[in-house]
């Protein structure tokens, strides 16, 4: 197998005090955050829904989902639109707040090492934290994010 086949195009998604790393293929697009329509009684991490291509896109704060403070929305705030792959969300997509534009990176076994599987509250949507040269991004559990959103949308 050649080296190019073992590389994965990924995105480093900037959060308020951290970063996520996700495969590029998981992301549909990055859009400007517009005022979300929040439903009464929803969790703090549930930012609400925004209009995206004529659809009501559910948007979360990843920081809030892992038990941290939900960041203040600024002019730099964007929404990373992810493909929903479990079938639990009828719309087929969901959004995660980001503090700026994601950075495209190529990763392979040589640059990506497991750092930690701990450090989050039980039930947090995180697989692990990795070390990538001088970065320590988290690998999110996107399936768990979908399940959290599906539950939240039924209860709200």
> Is residue 1 situated within a structural domain?
no
> Is residue 3 situated within a structural domain?
no
- Evaluate if residue 1 carries a pLDDT over 50: no
CATH number of the domain where residue 106 is located: 2.40.50.180
Q: pLDDT tens, 115-143?
A: 988 888 888 999 999 999 889 999 999 99
Given a contact cutoff of 8 angstroms between Cβ atoms, the answer to whether 91 and 58 are in contact is yes
Asked whether the CA dihedral 94, 90, 47, 123 is positive or negative, the reply is negative
Give the span between the Cα atoms of 150 and 92, in whole angstroms.
11
- In this prediction, what percent of the chain has a pLDDT beyond 90? 76
Overall number of domains in the chain: 1
> Is residue 32 situated within a structural domain?
yes
Question: Closest by alpha carbon to 60, among 38, 75, 40, 32?
Answer: 38
Coil, strand or helix at 125: coil
Give the span between the Cα atoms of 131 and 28, in whole angstroms.
25
- The stretch 147-153 carries a mean pLDDT of 92
Q: pLDDT tens, 85-103?
A: 999 999 999 999 999 999 9
- The stretch 69-78 carries a mean pLDDT of 93
pTM, whole model, 2 decimals? 0.92
> Is residue 26 situated within a structural domain?
yes
> Is residue 69 situated within a structural domain?
yes
All residues at 6 or more sequence positions from 115 whose CB lies less than 8 Å from its CB, including other chains:
128, 129, 130, 131, 136
Residue range(s) defining the domain that contains residue 119: 8-155
Give the span between the Cα atoms of 139 and 80, in whole angstroms.
15
Report long-range pairs for 132-137 (Cβ below 8 Å, ≥24 apart).
132/21, 132/105, 132/107, 135/12, 135/19, 135/21, 136/19, 137/12, 137/18, 137/19, 137/20, 137/21
Given a contact cutoff of 8 angstroms between Cβ atoms, the answer to whether 104 and 92 are in contact is no
**Band of the pLDDT at 12, cuts 50, 70, 90?**
very high
């Amino acid at each position: 197998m050649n080296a190019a086949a073992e590389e994965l195009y990924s995105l480093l998604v900037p959060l308020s005090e951290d970063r996520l790393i996700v495969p590029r293929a998981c992301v549909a697009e990055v859009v400007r955050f517009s005022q979300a329509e929040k439903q009464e009684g929803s969790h703090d991490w549930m930012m609400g829904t925004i209009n995206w291509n004529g659809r009501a896109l559910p948007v979360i704060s990843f920081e809030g989902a892992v038990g941290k403070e939900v960041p203040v929305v600024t002019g730099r705030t964007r929404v990373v639109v992810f493909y929903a792959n479990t079938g639990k969300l009828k719309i087929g997509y969901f959004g995660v707040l980001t503090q700026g534009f994601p950075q495209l990176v190529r990763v392979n076994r040589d640059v990506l090492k497991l750092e930690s599987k701990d450090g989050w509250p039980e039930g947090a949507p995180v697989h692990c934290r990795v070390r990538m040269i001088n970065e320590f991004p988290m690998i999110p559990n996107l399936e768990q994010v979908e399940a959290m959103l599906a539950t939240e949308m039924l209860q709200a």
